[in-house]
Amino acid sequence: MRRTLIALSLAAAPFAMLAACAPTTQQGGEIGGYDMAASRASIADVQMAPDTSYLTAEERQVVNLLIEASGYMDEIYLRQRGEGLVELREDIAASGNAELLDMFDRNFGPWDAVDELHPFYGSEPMPEGAGFYPADLTREEFDAYLEASPDQREALMSPYTVVKRDGEGGFVAVPYSEEYARFLQPAAELLREAAEITTNPSLKRFLSLRADSFLSDDYFESEMAWMDLEGTPIEVAIGPYEVYTDRLYGTKTAFESFVTLKNPEESAALDRYVGYLRDMEGNLPIDPQYHNFTRGFESPIAVADQVHGGGDNVPGVQTIAFNLPNDERVREAKGAKKVILSNVLGAKFDRILDPIADVVLAQEQAALVSRRYMQLFTLFHELSHSLGPGTITVDGQQTTVNARLREQYSALEESKADVMGIYNLLYMMERGELPQGERSELLATYVAGLFRSMRFGIEEAHGKGAAAQYGYLLEYGAFAWDADGGHYVIDEDRLVSGITELLRAELMLQATGDYEGTMAFFDRYAHLDVHAEAAIAGMDDIPVDIRPIYPDSV
């Protein structure tokens, strides 16, 4: 996302560290034939001006405190990405370049490599374990240590600890509450202050419990309280959630925040789909023994405008929706909440998805792509995270899909949610909840969306998952390249049947906890052929993503 020239007076060493914090991509920085470094210049700045006129004075105070607390999530995540970024930021601050410092604070993360910085880059890739593990740690070394030290496994593999070397050949787990105390303590104070101000009981309870969690590393009760938020327009998620940054094991959670304002009318309009979640689970195309009815099916839905973000929510690919919490215990008790960020999604449709459709699809199919089905697909993607295998039994031992699939989990789960989302939308059409006559609109929006995701890079979880869908469905004959027209043509019937077969394959990898099978699945399908390369190369004039710029206060 960078395009500002850095003053040559800055030390070169930190820039090598910056490069070490940027994920590598296939083919020396290119995705297929598409130069990702060049694409960073096409990130579209979008000034976000969400409507806050209806907030009371009390609610405005609470939101502003949450925005302030989000700043501490930035500081923690900067360190979770890697200490090299901390040193880099310090050098930028010392240079006096306020514009560059502001840019860095808004955008640090996986898009840090712009053409102007190439002279400063090192050649080392980002450590797979980012800042969660020693930079030189290999999976083989750590696996051997865990096997030899089973009494330490739980602490070392906890989602809420940082792993450090301890003496000769040893390791120690440092709790987040200790490692990031200088940021978590003031963040907790801000949440307590907000809890004192709000008169909404459910928000008061969540903020108080989340403040406690920051200092105890026990997030269960506060996650349960978050699921019970009601009667307030303030929809906030703040804490350690996603594991995408941990590419070594996929277990360490990154700190982030979403400060959003809920639209009650739009939320209610989508809420009816929650009543079908149990039926959706029973309709999955796998043997009934693998259906998961132990999860809760409450799954509240919120359509909201984001007013601020922090931590892992800021850099890289901008989130258009989230599905939390990830704790399987909470999901089994209460399900998970789906929050669609309406203003972010709308900006991405107008600036990116609609133009991509014109490049990728035949004219008559491109014309079918719609914001309505982008939003519905986004919702059903998030709903689908709450369906399918979660807690599983392998070789007589109870475990989770995440634990079994390790660093492969995120990409497979994102791909599964995409495919299941389309599968369930088709199911809603069968049930009469959506018009059958809009099937073509749904399918065209889905296929165009695969290319939007793959442009982010096929090593990133969403992009890798999209590439696997592309490879599988192309082989299945769901769409084909029209050489004369220079675009894809969808075979709708083959696409519908291919989605069913692909979903079945991915669900069984999860149900059996098949790590090797998942590796083989991605090795076979998560690639771009020459036609996909050509299509993506033809998108130079379309932004790869947006950079939302939010107000500092409301």
Q: Which helix (H) or strand (E) segment is 157 a member of?
A: none
The 3-state DSSP class for residue 397 equals strand
State how beta strands 321-324 and 546-549 pair: unpaired
Give pLDDT, residue 39. 42
Mark residue 457 as left, alpha or beta (left: phi above 0; alpha: psi -120 to 50; beta: remaining).
left
The answer to whether residues 454 and 467 touch, using CB atoms and an 8 Å cutoff, is yes
* Per-residue DSSP letter, 255: E
* Per-residue DSSP letter, 124: P
The answer to whether residues 309 and 536 touch, using CB atoms and an 8 Å cutoff, is no
Instruction: List average pLDDT for each run of 10 residues in the chain, which is 554 residues long.
Output: 26 31 29 37 85 96 98 95 79 81 61 34 64 95 96 97 93 98 98 98 98 98 96 97 93 97 90 90 94 78 94 88 90 88 95 96 97 94 89 90 92 96 98 97 98 87 94 98 95 98 97 96 96 93 91 93
Q: Which residues contact 249 (CB under 8 A, 6 or more apart)?
A: 129, 139, 142, 157, 406, 407
Burial class (CB in 10 A: 0-12, 13-18, 19+), 333: middle
Compute how many other C-beta atoms are within 10 angstroms of the C-beta atom of residue 212: 16
Whole-angstrom CA distances from 136 to 18, 165, 197, 348 are 16, 10, 46, 38
Residue type, 334: K
Q: Please work out, in degrees rounded to the nearest 5, the angle formed at the alpha carbon of residue 313 by the alpha carbons of 326 and 420.
A: 45
The 3-state DSSP class for residue 32 equals coil
DSSP string, 215-254: HHS--HHHHHHHHT--S-SEEEEEEE---TT-TTTS-PPP
Give pLDDT, residue 420. 98
The answer to whether residues 362 and 488 touch, using CB atoms and an 8 Å cutoff, is yes
Rounded distance between C-alpha atoms, residue 63 and residue 43, angstroms: 28
CA torsion sign for 477, 425, 299, 230 is positive
Helix-helix angle 492-511:461-476, to 10 degrees: 130
Alpha helices in 436-529 (DSSP H): 439-454, 461-476, 492-511, 515-525
